[in-house]
Structure 1
Amino acid sequence: MVEERAEGAASAVIAALAFGAGVWAVMGEQKGAEYFAGYLLEQSLSVDNLFVFILVFNYFKTPIEYQSKVLTYGIATAAVLRLVLIVAGVDIVERFEPVLLVFAGILLLSSAKLLTAGGDEEEEEDLSKNKIVQFCKSLMSFTDSYDGDKFFTMQNGVRVATPLLLVLLVVELSDVVFAVDSIPAVLGVTLDPFIVYTSNLFAILSLRGLYTFVSTFMKELRFLDKAVAVVLGFVGGKILAQFAGLDVPTDVSLGVVASILGLGVGASLLPAGKESD
């Protein structure tokens, strides 16, 4: 299964790169650079998204054989929801451009939160008081145990939801929350809805395969969240700079984003205790 998902993730990345090359060839260097910058942004933010998925699966003790179904449904739903949010976001910006300043504020605030976040993972593992979980439980009642990979089951002659549906709802709503960061980040690079959506879509499609990789090596990627924080801060600053009349070329943005993420991954690969040498 690990090999299959690794192959799936590799295929998704290759497809994304091939599509980007096509955009570059057909639509020109500017659009090509916008696509790759957007794809890198979304891919890096998706890794943080996967951390939450892992936390949800662990908390609800979701059997590994059922996690694949949740990821498949979750990714399909995310693709549709992102389309709606992107179209709405682009329309709002085109009608009232200063809203980009709000997006910049969101990105800078998210960056600051990630940079100052503590390392106490024990507190974050208890999702019983999580607002998304509480909201889902307020919508309907759930059984205490799984019934295979079913979202609904019969109990005392009544059709009721299983914990697997709760997990799916939490995953999907968590993705909507993450979109509050990711979509403004990509809109900070380009307002072309085609580029924004396709870069988002190809990043989302690789999530299922990346899940296995991230769940296996998440502890080793100890500096990736800080790199993502710096990227969010950079994009937020880029938006503010544009309003001040300072244009940051897309190819420069692409280079900065790629360099920051590369440094984050590279630093994570260093043996513990040597990154400061």
Structure 2
Amino acid sequence: MTVPFWIWAVTIVVILGFFVFDFYSHVRTPHEPSIKEAAWWSAFYVALALAFGVFVYAVWTHQHGVEFLTGYVTEKALSVDNLFVFALIMGAFQIPRKYQQKVLLIGIALALFFRLLFILAGAAVIEAWSDVFYIFGIFLLVTAAKMVIDEVRDAPPTDPNDMWVIKMLRKVVPVTSGYERDHLIVHKKGQHAFTPLMVALIAIGLIDVLFALDSIPAIYGITTEAYLVFTTNAFSLLGLRQMYFLLDGLLDRLVYLSYGLSVILGFIGVKLLLHALHENNLPFINGGDNITAAPEVGTEFSLIFIVVVLTVTVVASIWKNKRDEAQGGVDTRAKAPTD
């Protein structure tokens, strides 16, 4: 079934409305959200996503409902990994906590816009060339392997100040030396200048776009419906700001998260390669004919596998932290300043 344009339009307007509501109700006036506030709104957006999944399940087809739920769980798990990088950016730019909400919300909204462009482009490529699933699958397998290698080597994440885009930005646009309340752009000495808050916002937007290079192929490994790909991304990003403050201080305790995510990405990569064999047109593989004997991984199995991996990851992380606490040796990450 082709999703009509008006459904796309209504969905985008509603998603945009939530971002606008979030800005005017929570972000416009700078403040540090309480744990209770962050927990309440995180639960609200998760419940909203689940309600949408039930709606898709009932109105569209059961298969599409399961695909949405599987995709949402996957994207939500990957978005939690984003929070580690967000915390790094907040610390690198020394952003006061009461201003962090604005940076997160606008950066995430911009990232969703660029993800929409990626999703539509990906759908067009898949329609024109089904063998792109080979590229998606190999890319996810390489990404999964890199995540494991970086974790084993304990490689430090890239400092946002070392990003070439940020360096170039600071060469061509004046940047103030300090913060000007929660302003992104100020007018001083006859010229406009970015504040460090704007630079951090751009960094978060760019980082999240880079994360989309992993998440978009991953979700296309679960469903090829562009509408579901977009809505799973949108609902996973809605409430990500609140989740950042809810999980702040707990992120460092998810010590096995990268391993769990690498397993999930590797699993989806294999699934994509198997699917590509069924759609094969490459002349050097089976003479260009489809390989229908290749096994297909069902969406229901994918959902169960992903949930099990995430559960094992969390339980193993909790067990390791308790063991380390008993031995008096828990490592912690540096946090952003509180004022």
Asked if TM exceeds 0.5, the reply is yes
Aligned to 1:255: 304
Q: Within 2, Cα distance between the matches of 1:126 and 1:185?
A: 26
For each residue in 1:21-80, what CA deviation from the matched residue of structure 2 results, as whole angstroms up to 9, or x when unmatched? 111111222101110111011111101111111100100101111110111111221222
Q: Within 2, Cα distance between the matches of 1:135 and 1:120?
A: 30
Aligned to 1:47: 80
Alignment check: 8 A CA contact 1:51 1:214 kept: no
Aligned to 1:182: 215
For each residue in 1:152-197, what CA deviation from the matched residue of structure 2 results, as whole angstroms up to 9, or x when unmatched? 1122222111111100000001111000000000001111011111
Aligned to 1:117: 150
Q: Within 1, Cα distance between the matches of 2:240 and 2:308?
A: 22
Q: Within 1, Cα distance between the matches of 2:154 and 2:259?
A: 16
**Of 221, 224, 227, which residue of structure 2 is paired with 1:194?**
227
Offset at 1:131? 3.0
Q: Within 2, Cα distance between the matches of 1:107 and 1:256?
A: 17
Aligned to 1:134: 167
Alignment check: 8 A CA contact 2:138 2:273 kept: no
Q: Relative to structure 1, is the Cα distance of residues 123 and 237 closer, same or farther in structure 2, using a 3 angstrom cutoff?
A: closer
Q: Within 1, Cα distance between the matches of 2:76 and 2:206?
A: 19
Alignment check: 8 A CA contact 1:220 1:268 kept: yes
SS of the aligned residue for 2:192 comes to strand
Aligned to 2:189: 156
SS of the aligned residue for 2:297 comes to coil
SS of the aligned residue for 2:178 comes to coil
For each residue in 1:83-131, what CA deviation from the matched residue of structure 2 results, as whole angstroms up to 9, or x when unmatched? 1111111111111111111111111111001111146778437443233
Aligned to 1:170: 203
SS of the aligned residue for 1:216 comes to coil
**Of 59, 82, 85, which residue of structure 2 is paired with 1:26?**
59
**Of 243, 246, 264, which residue of structure 2 is paired with 1:213?**
246
Alignment check: 8 A CA contact 1:34 1:250 kept: yes
SS of the aligned residue for 2:321 comes to coil
What are the residue-to-residue correspondences of 1:237-252 with 2, within 5 Å? 237-244=270-277, 245-252=294-301
Alignment check: 8 A CA contact 2:151 2:258 kept: no
State the TM-score, normalizing by the size of structure 2. 0.77
Q: What fraction of aligned residue pairs are identical, expressed as a percent?
A: 35
2:321 is aligned with 1:272: yes
SS of the aligned residue for 1:117 comes to helix
Aligned residue type for 2:238:
L
Structure with larger RCO (C-alpha < 8 A, sep 6+):
1
RMSD: 1.8
State the TM-score, normalizing by the size of structure 1. 0.93
Alignment check: 8 A CA contact 2:111 2:206 kept: no
2:143 is aligned with 1:94: no
SS of the aligned residue for 1:272 comes to helix
Q: Relative to structure 1, is the Cα distance of residues 122 and 184 closer, same or farther in structure 2, using a 3 angstrom cutoff?
A: closer
| Further displaced range: 65-74 or 236-245 | 236-245
Q: Relative to structure 1, is the Cα distance of residues 84 and 251 closer, same or farther in structure 2, using a 3 angstrom cutoff?
A: same
2:42 is aligned with 1:12: no
Alignment check: 8 A CA contact 2:253 2:321 kept: no
Alignment check: 8 A CA contact 2:110 2:205 kept: yes
Alignment check: 8 A CA contact 1:59 1:125 kept: no
* Structure 2 residue ranges without an equivalent (≥5): 1-32, 278-293, 325-339
Q: Within 2, Cα distance between the matches of 1:129 and 1:193?
A: 34
